[in-house]
Amino acid sequence: MKKKFLSIITLACLLFASCDRLLDLDPRQSIDSQTALQSEEAINAALNAVYARLRGVGLYGRDLLAIPELLADNAINTGAGNRLVPQASNQPADHIRLETWQLSYYAINQINLIFEALPALEATAEYKTNIEGQMHFLRALIYHNLVKIYAYDPTATIATADRGGVPIILSGVLTIDDIVYPSRPSVEEVYNYIYADLENAVTKIPINASFYYASKSAAHGLFSRVALHRGDMEKVVQQGELALSTSGKNLATNAAFVQTWRTVNNPESLFEVAFTNTNDNIGTNESLRASYTTRITATSTTAVSHGFIVMDNSLYALYASNDVRRNIIMRGLTNANLNRWEITKFISRSGINNMDNVPVIRLPEVILNMAEAYATPGSPVFSEANARTQLNLIRVRAGIGATAASGNTLFEDIIRQRRLELAFEGFRFFDLKRLGRDIIKGTGNIAFTDFRMLANIPVREVEPNTNIVQNPGY
């Protein structure tokens, strides 16, 4: 009976909850993959359900962006509303929340079920290839999120505390009897699996791009990110260049920068999680807008929410007075936030309160990935000239001018510009972790050797599954 506690994989009635209105199932209490996924309409609905999973509060609805900022040194929690307070002070077992693990493995199971149904589907090879490519992209994205949360990065590991990566689920599950008890493969094995998904994604996804669906440029961009976490600098540059060339995008100008964060879709995005109708609205309590700001819009004069995750003053001080990125940072409207800095990247850009599409992969990240790869000593692509070229794209757009720096000064400026450019998008904690650096913050420093650098695997996964070893310290 203990199988019922395992949330890596669950009954299909839960797996397809996001799309059950789109699928005509009989009976509705169970799903036979042989009958439920026999048409393009059903496959499309099931795939859309995977994209819909990404909107969850535990994923890109809030936690994957907000919590890494609180765990690191970018943000402070005002305590208003009493949400995510333990994460701000890195309390043990208060890292990324249980929902992130659950939603991620629900989505992986959905993807596996679709993969298994595709061979028997009567459809064109072109259609099947496109669907496969998108699923490879989504699975790679989800597994990389999981492995960087619950395991060490290949670039920075505490060998005595390394308990492996995250479970890899190879097949779909429809009933309790199908449930398996997976172990934790090595981090290297997980990255090999993610690489294989990404190789398939960049091969199979058409070039035609969409903000809301996986595109070839988004897959190359994700590949560049994953390679950076792996320390595979040659791949970082190779995939980064392909992301730029297939996207056809350029950085916005200095004058247009603020507007990129005021439009429904950020024009620098390669992939966004879509919030397109009122059913997607997370609401005032948990949306990114409500978490980060007290405003509905950039021109609001009346507070409508707590805005409990605000910018640490030390981060704000790093922005030069002429840095255009300062223009999306504003003082709050409540008494508690009048002297605090709020970031307005998520501020009801669609015109509907709390409805903000969430950029997952943006052009500036890809450019900074390449800059870091070029600037890393010992890298096979090491070139300070090339590193400066990429870095200066970001610096000039920000309005702070080009740099002629070299050596460690150049490398540290790249890391600083990542912090400034990608602030409150969920990167800072994971950048410090993959670099093996301590977190220096007002609530107490966290050494890289501290067990709290890794999230605890949910107890409901470890207790019934003796094959999973918990991370140290929990």
Helix or strand run (H / E) with residue 435: none
Q: How far apart are CA 223 and CA 243, in angstroms?
A: 9
Token code pair at residue 51:
């994209």
- Say yes or no: 20 and 144 in one domain: yes
pLDDT one-digit tens code per residue, 217-229:
999 999 999 999 9
Token code pair at residue 466:
């003796």
What's residue 25's pLDDT?
31
Q: What is the mean predicted confidence (pLDDT) over 70-96?
A: 95
pLDDT one-digit tens code per residue, 251-297:
999 999 999 999 999 999 999 999 988 888 888 889 999 999 999 99
pLDDT of 406 strictly over 50: yes
Q: How far apart are CA 468 and CA 464, in angstroms?
A: 9
What's residue 316's pLDDT?
98
Q: What is the mean predicted confidence (pLDDT) over 17-36?
A: 40
- Say yes or no: 348 and 461 in one domain: no
pLDDT one-digit tens code per residue, 136-160:
999 999 999 999 999 999 999 999 9
pLDDT of 33 strictly over 90: no
- Give a yes or no: residue 396 inside a domain: no
pLDDT one-digit tens code per residue, 408-428:
999 999 999 999 999 999 999
Q: What are phi and psi of 272, to 5 degrees?
A: -130, 145
Q: Is 77 helix (H, G, I), strand (E, B) or coil?
A: strand
Cis geometry, peptide bond prior to residue 27 (ω within 30 degrees of 0): yes
Q: How far apart are CA 248 and CA 250, in angstroms?
A: 7
Token code pair at residue 218:
């988004």
Beta bridge partners of 330: 342
Give the range of the structural domain holding residue 300, as residue numbers without chain letter.
289-356
Question: Which of 324, 356, 388 lies at the terminal end of a domain, its last residue?
Answer: 356
pTM for the full predicted model: 0.93
Task: Classify residue 125 as exposed, middle or buried by CB count within 10 Å of its CB (0-12, 13-18, 19+).
Answer: exposed
pLDDT one-digit tens code per residue, 157-211:
999 999 999 999 999 988 888 888 899 999 999 999 999 999 999 999 998 778 8
- Say yes or no: 13 and 145 in one domain: yes
The rounded mean pLDDT for the chain is 91
Token code pair at residue 468:
């999973």
Q: Is 346 helix (H, G, I), strand (E, B) or coil?
A: coil
Among the listed residues 328, 290, 326, 284, the one whose alpha carbon sits nearest the alpha carbon of residue 309: 290
CB atoms within 10 A of CB 458: 21
pLDDT of 23 strictly over 70: no
What's residue 10's pLDDT?
39
pLDDT one-digit tens code per residue, 384-405:
999 999 999 999 999 999 999 9
- Say yes or no: 309 and 164 in one domain: no
State how many domains the chain has.
Answer: 2
Question: Which of 321, 356, 391 lies at the terminal end of a domain, its last residue?
Answer: 356
Among the listed residues 220, 272, 271, 214, the one whose alpha carbon sits nearest the alpha carbon of residue 245: 220
- Give a yes or no: residue 215 inside a domain: no
Token code pair at residue 178:
């199908």
pLDDT of 35 strictly over 70: no
pLDDT of 115 strictly over 50: yes
Q: How far apart are CA 447 and CA 433, in angstroms?
A: 10
Helix or strand run (H / E) with residue 39: none
Confidence of residue 45 (pLDDT cuts 50, 70, 90): very high
Distance of CA 441 to the CA centre of its chain: 23
Beta bridge partners of 362: 269
Q: What are phi and psi of 312, to 5 degrees?
A: -65, 140
- Say yes or no: 327 and 459 in one domain: no
Q: How far apart are CA 291 and CA 99, in angstroms?
A: 18
Confidence of residue 5 (pLDDT cuts 50, 70, 90): very low
pLDDT one-digit tens code per residue, 334-353:
999 999 999 999 999 888 88
E strand spans, 242-340? 269-273, 309-311, 329-331
Q: How far apart are CA 367 and CA 465, in angstroms?
A: 42
Token code pair at residue 119:
């061979």
Length of the chain: 474
Question: Which of 328, 356, 384 lies at the terminal end of a domain, its last residue?
Answer: 356
pLDDT of 8 strictly over 60: no
- Say yes or no: 51 and 173 in one domain: yes
What's residue 436's pLDDT?
98
Distance of CA 364 to the CA centre of its chain: 15
pLDDT of 26 strictly over 60: no
What CATH number does residue 464 fall under? 1.25.40.390
Token code pair at residue 244:
């730029």
Q: Is 342 helix (H, G, I), strand (E, B) or coil?
A: strand
What's residue 179's pLDDT?
82
